[in-house]
């Protein structure tokens, strides 16, 4: 058990796709005791072997048949001992199973019930299927992602699922736990990925043209033609001689001047005139293709030109900065991102791979009851 700020907080995590486990991981990373409730057959197949990805680290697991009345009864016993439940079903499913917020608040009024869905618990789309790409599409975010003249490009499933979903849910849970210290009562959290994705783009809200139809963006050009979306040559990636890439973020004038000087470029057109951007980009692209990525790292070492290598996922843990900070940690023989953010002067939760929990006595299920449930095939 870790000694993070959430030490002593008990979380029941209903098994689901990645955003739910990500929220549970965020809580476990900071000391919460997370018990993942999976399908009976899944847990039996895994046995007592450590299992799971980084999203399951620091957790314990059990299998429980929630379609069985006895399984629902057992889950309510667990919930009576919990501080938090993470539920990732479509709206109404938990209620039909008998483990919705009202059901569990009847046995534990202090429970924080976190619900994570793509569309939210209400609204015309609430009952529809969807994935990250759909949620960021409806939020308007996807329309802004991609290069000029090309179709919108989703950044894998990071913005909707993880940032707009799992991370927002973890944040909401911590808010509700903080509030509970004052009120003594739990709360239901409706975390919707479409809401979270929209919030992530709050910076661009002044660009929205008011009107009954929502309107197009005002003061912002077409996708891929702006300062921060690869439209500007000073904020983009460039290929190097060996097929690698560097990322350039020389926005401020003094950073730009240093970039140009270290590239050895002269007589560049004025970058403040957007009409010059294609010509400037061509000059930068030609310059970067003249040397390898490693050579450019040496040239820009110690500079404020905001030029850094685009590392692969396997290269990132070996970068000196990441190594110095311990940005990646070894867990179960593999590398994973370390807990974030860091609370200086304190510890974090146990990062060991997820393991099966046999003794449920501290969760309100004694050994005899657990044995009977296992004999019935309800518990694993």
Q: Where in the sequence numbering do the catalytic residues fall? A: 131, 161
Whole-angstrom distance, CA of residue 128 vs CA of residue 40: 27
Query: By the 8 A CB rule, do 107 and 80 touch?
Result: yes
Residue partners of 229: CB distance under 8 A and separation at least 6: 144, 145, 146, 223
User: Exposed/middle/buried for 182, CB within 10 Å: 0-12, 13-18, 19+?
Assistant: exposed
Query: By the 8 A CB rule, do 89 and 14 touch?
Result: yes
Whole-angstrom distance, CA of residue 191 vs CA of residue 18: 14
In the block, which residue shows the tokens 């999976």? 38
Length of the chain, please?
380
Residue partners of 131: CB distance under 8 A and separation at least 6: 118, 157, 160, 161
In the block, which residue shows the tokens 């020389």? 250
């Amino acid at each position: 058990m870790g000694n993070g700020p959430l030490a002593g907080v008990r979380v029941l995590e209903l098994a689901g796709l990645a955003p739910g486990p990500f929220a549970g991981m965020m809580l476990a990373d900071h000391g919460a005791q997370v018990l993942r409730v999976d399908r009976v057959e899944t847990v039996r197949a895994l046995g007592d072997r450590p299992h799971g990805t980084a999203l399951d680290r620091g957790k314990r697991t059990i299998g429980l048949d929630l379609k069985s009345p006895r399984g629902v009864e057992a889950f309510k016993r667990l919930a009576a001992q919990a501080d938090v439940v993470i539920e990732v079903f479509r709206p109404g499913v938990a209620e039909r199973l008998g483990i919705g917020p009202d059901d569990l608040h009847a046995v534990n009024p202090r429970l924080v019930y976190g619900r994570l869905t793509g569309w939210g618990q209400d609204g015309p789309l609430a009952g529809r299927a969807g994935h990250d790409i759909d949620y960021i599409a409806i939020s308007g975010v996807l329309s802004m992602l991609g290069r000029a003249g090309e179709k919108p490009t989703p950044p894998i499933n990071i913005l909707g699922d993880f940032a707009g979903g799992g991370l927002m849910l973890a944040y909401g849970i911590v808010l509700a736990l903080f509030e509970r210290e004052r009120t003594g009562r739990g709360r239901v959290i409706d975390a919707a990925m479409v809401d979270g994705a929209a919030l992530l783009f709050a910076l661009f809200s002044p660009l929205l043209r008011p009107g009954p139809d929502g309107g197009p963006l005002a003061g912002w050009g077409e996708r891929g033609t702006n300062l921060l979306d690869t439209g500007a040559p000073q904020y983009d990636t460039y290929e190097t001689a060996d097929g690698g890439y560097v990322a350039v973020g020389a926005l401020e004038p003094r950073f730009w001047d240093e970039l140009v000087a270290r590239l050895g470029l002269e007589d560049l057109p004025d970058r403040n005139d957007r009409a010059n951007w294609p010509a400037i980009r061509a000059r930068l692209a030609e310059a970067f293709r003249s040397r390898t990525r490693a050579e450019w790292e040496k040239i820009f070492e110690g500079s404020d030109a905001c030029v850094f290598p685009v590392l692969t996922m396997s290269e990132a843990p070996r970068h000196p900065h990441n190594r110095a900070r311990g940005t990646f940690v070894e867990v179960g023989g593999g590398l994973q991102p370390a807990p974030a953010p860091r609370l200086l002067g304190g510890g974090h939760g146990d990062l060991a791979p997820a393991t099966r929990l046999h003794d449920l006595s501290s969760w309100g299920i004694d050994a005899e009851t657990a044995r009977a449930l296992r004999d019935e095939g309800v518990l694993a």
